[in-house]
């Protein structure tokens, strides 16, 4: 089975620039391709997961990936899907995020022995001669056509409009593909379907300027059965960094997906054989929990490693009555010196809640329990009575998130 058959069977592919040519190319040759990641935060998140999985499938089939860090394009910011201009990031912030991304990508992609390339478009974008760039690259772009692209059209219709600053993003991304084609004989760009217009621009630039074949494929975005983007919680994004989303919380996110989304997530976010994916996806009633546990474990193992996946699974089983080691549940340490301080402060500092307003809503909706005490007062203070004479008590947020509150 060709890698393109694998990608189709598992549900990754959305649009292809030249479908028959791409199919023939991937069946007959080993190519170099790239996917770009703009460093807008210090961690990749679940929204990047599918692109990383596509890259991994391609590499396993013998194709060479280029992981392109957007140290240059991140200075502008992609307007796609945004109703206003992104906040401008400092060079120092971008550089830090690039270094964080590089460490995370190695969990999914084999970077040894030239099997993959990590590049940064800051190396060629930041030193461009503007006039020379306009003469050599800008001349190949039609403003009329650019304005018809979905990523620009929506912004033009909004009250915020589109800045000339942002309009350069498409040309920059196209130029990335052109440079990688020249430097590494990269012939294909992959990415999320929201990048289609930008990716096609790169394909056409290479074909017009160099008279060489170039291609692109987009992957489906990670959405639930209602068409809403997955990877968001009340506390914000689900990150691939253990410091930003703990392995336990990461595990629990996938353990709690809707029944209707389990089979799709197993196909897209694990390497389980499709026969097993279909078997698990066909389970009904309470048996679907078997599939959810498998999904949560496999995805957590990919992102955080087997040891952390084992711990998260054991903690979840302990907390929900299937036995296991309670010691693996997330720990929050407190001292007696904190007695009398607002409980909301503790929750916020420990990153159990993303904001004080979230904490107030949680309490008002009877969603916070410490030990056997249901917290009903938003002004409640941390006190010794909450520990009921013990040095450790279980804190429950909502129905399914638990933390060990330990008095030191």
Question: Which of the following is catalytic: 6, 15, 233, 373?
Answer: 233
| Edge-to-edge order in the sheet of strand 186-192 | 13-16, 215-219, 186-192, 32-37, 64-69, 117-120
Active site residue 369: no
Active site residue 48: yes
- Write out the two tokens for 179: 């440079």
Radius of gyration of the chain (CA): 24
Question: Which of the following is catalytic: 45, 292, 313, 397?
Answer: 45
Active site residue 82: yes
Question: Which of the following is catalytic: 73, 104, 173, 218?
Answer: 173
Active site residue 153: no
Active site residue 377: no
Whole-angstrom distance, CA of residue 312 vs CA of residue 297: 8
- Write out the two tokens for 112: 């040894």
Question: Which of the following is catalytic: 232, 360, 361, 396?
Answer: 232
Query: Where do we find the tokens 């993959």?
Result: 116
Active site residue 304: no
Question: Which of the following is catalytic: 82, 182, 279, 361?
Answer: 82
Question: Which of the following is catalytic: 42, 193, 194, 345?
Answer: 194
Active site residue 229: yes
Active site residue 6: no
Active site residue 86: yes
Q: Please tell me whether 184 is known to bind a ligand.
A: no
Q: Please tell me whether 403 is known to bind a ligand.
A: no
Active site residue 232: yes
Question: Which of the following is catalytic: 40, 220, 369, 373?
Answer: 40
Q: Please tell me whether 253 is known to bind a ligand.
A: no
Q: Please tell me whether 173 is known to bind a ligand.
A: yes
Question: Which of the following is catalytic: 229, 336, 374, 400?
Answer: 229
For the annotated binding site for L-tyrosine, the residues are 34, 169, 173
Residues acting as catalytic residues: 40, 45, 48, 82, 86, 173, 194, 229, 232-233
For the annotated binding site for ATP, the residues are 232
For the annotated binding site, the residues are 34, 169, 173, 232
């Amino acid at each position: 089975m060709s890698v393109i058959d694998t990608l189709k069977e598992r549900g990754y592919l959305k649009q292809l620039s030249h479908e028959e040519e791409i199919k023939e190319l991937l069946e007959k040759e080993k190519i170099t391709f790239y996917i770009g990641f703009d460093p807008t935060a210090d961690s990749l998140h679940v929204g990047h997961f599918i692109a990383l999985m596509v890259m991994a499938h391609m590499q396993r089939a013998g194709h060479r990936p280029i992981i392109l860090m957007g140290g240059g394009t991140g200075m502008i910011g992609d307007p796609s899907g945004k109703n206003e201009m992104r906040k401008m990031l400092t060079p120092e912030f971008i550089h830090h995020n690039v270094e964080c991304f590089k460490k995370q990508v190695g969990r999914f992609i084999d970077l040894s022995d030239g099997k993959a390339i990590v590049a940064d478009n800051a190396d060629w974008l930041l030193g461009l001669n503007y006039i020379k760039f306009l003469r050599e690259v800008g001349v190949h772009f039609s403003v009329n056509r650019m304005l018809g692209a979905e990523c620009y059209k929506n912004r033009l219709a909004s009250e915020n409009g589109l800045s000339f600053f942002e309009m350069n993003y498409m040309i920059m991304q196209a130029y990335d593909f052109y440079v990688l084609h020249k430097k590494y004989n990269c012939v294909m760009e992959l990415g999320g379907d929201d990048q289609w217009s930008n990716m096609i621009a790169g394909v056409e630039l290479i074909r017009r300027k160099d008279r060489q074949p170039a291609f692109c494929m987009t992957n489906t975005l990670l959405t639930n059965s209602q068409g809403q983007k997955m990877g968001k919680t009340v506390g914000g994004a689900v990150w691939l960094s253990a410091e930003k989303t703990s392995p336990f919380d990461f595990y629990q996110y996938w353990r709690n997906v809707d029944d209707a989304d389990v089979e799709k997530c197993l196909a897209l976010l694990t390497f389980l054989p499709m026969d097993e994916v279909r078997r698990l996806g066909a389970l009904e009633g309470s048996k679907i929990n078997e599939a959810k546990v498998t999904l949560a474990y496999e995805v957590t193992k990919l992102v955080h490693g087997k040891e952390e996946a084992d711990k998260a699974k054991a903690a979840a089983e302990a907390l929900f009555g299937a036995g296991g080691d309670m010691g693996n549940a997330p720990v929050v340490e407190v001292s007696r010196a904190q007695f009398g301080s607002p409980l909301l402060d503790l929750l916020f500092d420990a990153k159990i809640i993303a904001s004080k307003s979230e904490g107030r809503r949680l309490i008002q909706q009877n969603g916070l329990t410490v030990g056997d005490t249901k917290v009903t007062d938003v002004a409640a203070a941390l006190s010794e009575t909450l520990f009921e004479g013990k040095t450790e008590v279980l804190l429950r947020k909502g129905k399914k998130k638990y933390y060990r509150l330990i008095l030191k």
